[in-house]
């Protein structure tokens, strides 16, 4: 029937929920579930990635454990979600990386760091521990050209793997490609994702430690997510400056790339520990312990990216700059390469699920009475 035990359990739980429907006001998962009478693997992958793990339905459920019906939607969907990440990985032989994410990413980070340090040393050993200043100071350590080549390749490789994974996921949930090409649906999903519309328990707030909606994950996620985007924007603006205006980094503190990077860095430095703390405090009943390594690894990598970036900013005029730069570049390089093989993909699949839900919501709105 189902590919895995987790999917079979998801089918069982969704069947209970579909006969109850008390949670339909909490998020998108339940209205999407109500449009179905049976739950194939593709349906469950879709519902699992639509779930934001706010926890509300677990504490609102009269059939949650210790009740014999043992309904635990957040946990059941979290397990299916993690499996869907691995199953949709491209190339497929990398899928075990999800299960051993911390080890794999740490090894890659170490190798990258050593690589950058060695590269710097080979390029100009005597430049490594001296202070540099003025436009082009970074490029004394590593040429801009070399950076573009190294990071361009890493970025494109990640992008290709992510695109292949998304295509696989989309085929798996049997949604027509045309849905992803609709500007209105993309806009609706972008709004839902950008506002974390479904990470608030239907308005009551998220639950993480117990039934009290005291969780601040939405806030910390906003800080981390917008922080990340701000850092990414800083890189883009820097690239435009370099090629379009012929202006070389480092830029003064008030200039756009530095302002964006600094704000983004602070967002990440505050947001990621908040998310990590929430993970530590999570009620074990709804925590998917088997996959916590993957999530923790991603959060830690984002934190280190931001911290090392800020360190480069603050100490860029000192002799420590080169080592810090190697550290930062090594971490960013690892982050990029690991994107398709870790928790980063949650954003991609969830966004895709939200696009499909926007389409289904539209279909639903056109149906005046779906009660029976």
Among 37, 126, 244, 245, binds other proteins (CB under 8 A): 37
Is 23 among the residues that bind other proteins (CB under 8 A)?
A: yes
- Counting beta carbons within 10 angstroms of the beta carbon of residue 254, is it exposed (0 to 12), middle (13 to 18) or buried (19 or more)? exposed
| Alpha carbons 356 and 48: distance in angstroms, whole number | 13
We find the least distance from the C-beta atom of residue 35 to other proteins, in angstroms, to be: 10
Is 363 among the residues that bind other proteins (CB under 8 A)?
A: no
Is 283 among the residues that bind other proteins (CB under 8 A)?
A: no
Is 150 among the residues that bind other proteins (CB under 8 A)?
A: no
| Alpha carbons 75 and 58: distance in angstroms, whole number | 9
Q: Name the one range near other proteins by CB under 8 A: 29-37, 102-110, 137-145, 177-185.
A: 29-37
Is 366 among the residues that bind other proteins (CB under 8 A)?
A: no
| Alpha carbons 80 and 20: distance in angstroms, whole number | 21
Contact between 303 and 332 (Cβ < 8 Å): no
- Interface with other proteins: number of residues (CB under 8 A): 36
Among 202, 273, 274, 347, binds other proteins (CB under 8 A): 202
For the chain, the first-to-last Cα distance in angstroms comes to: 29
Nearer Cβ to other proteins (24/255):
24
We find the least distance from the C-beta atom of residue 362 to other proteins, in angstroms, to be: 15
Nearer Cβ to other proteins (24/248):
24
Is 335 among the residues that bind other proteins (CB under 8 A)?
A: no
Nearest to 137 by CA among 312, 328, 332, 331: 312
Nearer Cβ to other proteins (13/278):
13
Q: Name the one range near other proteins by CB under 8 A: 51-59, 234-242, 266-274, 338-346.
A: 51-59
Is 8 among the residues that bind other proteins (CB under 8 A)?
A: no
Classify 254 as helix, strand or coil.
coil
Contact between 257 and 237 (Cβ < 8 Å): yes
| Alpha carbons 122 and 105: distance in angstroms, whole number | 25
DSSP for 160-185? HHHHHHHHHHHHHTT--GGGGG-HHH
Nearer Cβ to other proteins (67/362):
67
Nearer Cβ to other proteins (363/372):
372
Among 6, 7, 13, 26, binds other proteins (CB under 8 A): 26
Is 274 among the residues that bind other proteins (CB under 8 A)?
A: no
We find the least distance from the C-beta atom of residue 201 to other proteins, in angstroms, to be: 8
Nearer Cβ to other proteins (68/93):
68
Contact between 62 and 193 (Cβ < 8 Å): no
**149: its two tokens:** 């080549």
Is 209 among the residues that bind other proteins (CB under 8 A)?
A: no
We find the least distance from the C-beta atom of residue 213 to other proteins, in angstroms, to be: 9
Nearer Cβ to other proteins (32/301):
32
| Alpha carbons 311 and 170: distance in angstroms, whole number | 40
Among 34, 248, 255, 283, binds other proteins (CB under 8 A): 34
- Counting beta carbons within 10 angstroms of the beta carbon of residue 168, is it exposed (0 to 12), middle (13 to 18) or buried (19 or more)? middle
Nearer Cβ to other proteins (61/312):
61
Residues between 52 and 111 that touch other proteins (CB under 8 A): 56-57, 59-64, 66-69
Residues between 120 and 139 that touch other proteins (CB under 8 A): none
Is 22 among the residues that bind other proteins (CB under 8 A)?
A: yes
The pairs formed by 297-301 with CB atoms below 8 angstroms and a separation of 24 or more are 297/101, 297/102, 297/105, 297/106, 297/342, 297/343, 298/101, 298/342, 298/343, 298/344, 299/224, 299/272, 299/275, 299/343, 300/272, 300/276, 301/105, 301/109, 301/331, 301/334, 301/335, 301/338, 301/342
Bin 209: left if φ > 0, else alpha if -120 < ψ < 50, else beta: alpha
Nearer Cβ to other proteins (23/97):
23
Residues that bind other proteins (CB under 8 A): 15-16, 18-26, 31, 34, 37, 56-57, 59-64, 66-69, 201-204, 211-212, 369-372
């Amino acid at each position: 029937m189902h590919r895995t035990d987790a999917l079979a359990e998801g089918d069982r739980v969704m069947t209970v929920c579909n006969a109850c429907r008390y949670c339909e006001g909490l998020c998108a998962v339940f209205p999407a579930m109500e449009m179905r009478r049976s739950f194939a693997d593709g349906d469950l992958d879709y519902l699992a990635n639509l779930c934001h793990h706010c926890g509300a339905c677990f504490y609102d459920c009269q059939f949650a454990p210790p009740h014999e019906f043992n309904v635990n939607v957040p946990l059941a969907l979290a397990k299916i979600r993690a499996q869907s990440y691995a199953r949709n990985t491209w190339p497929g032989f990398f899928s075990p990386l999800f299960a051993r994410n911390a080890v794999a990413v740490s090894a890659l980070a170490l190798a990258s760091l050593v690589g950058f340090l060695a590269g710097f040393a080979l390029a100009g050993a005597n430049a490594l521990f001296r202070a540099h200043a003025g436009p082009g100071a970074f490029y004394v350590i590593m040429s801009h050209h070399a950076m573009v080549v190294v990071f361009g390749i890493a970025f494109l490789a990640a992008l290709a793997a992510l695109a292949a994974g998304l295509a696989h996921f989309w085929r798996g949930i049997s949604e027509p490609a045309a849905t992803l090409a609709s500007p209105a649906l993309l806009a609706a999903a972008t709004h839902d994702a950008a506002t974390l519309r479904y990470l608030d328990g239907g308005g009551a707030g998220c639950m993480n430690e117990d039934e009290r909606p005291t969780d601040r994950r939405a806030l910390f996620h906003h800080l981390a997510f917008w922080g990340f985007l701000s850092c990414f924007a800083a890189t883009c603006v820097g690239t435009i400056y370099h090629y379009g205006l012929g202006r070389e980094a480092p830029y003064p503190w008030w200039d756009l790339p530095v302002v964006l990077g600094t704000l983004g860095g602070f967002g990440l430095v505050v947001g990621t520990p908040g998310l990590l703390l929430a993970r530590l405090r999570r009620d074990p009943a709804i925590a998917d312990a088997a996959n916590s390594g993957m999530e923790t690894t991603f959060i830690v990598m984002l934190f280190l990216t931001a911290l090392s970036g800020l360190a480069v900013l603050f100490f860029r005029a000192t002799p420590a700059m080169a080592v810090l730069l190697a550290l930062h570049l090594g971490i960013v390089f690892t982050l990029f390469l690991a994107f398709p093989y870790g928790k980063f993909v949650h954003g991609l699949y969830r966004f895709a699920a939200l696009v499909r839900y926007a389409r289904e919501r539209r279909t639903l709105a056109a149906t005046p009475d779906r009660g029976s």
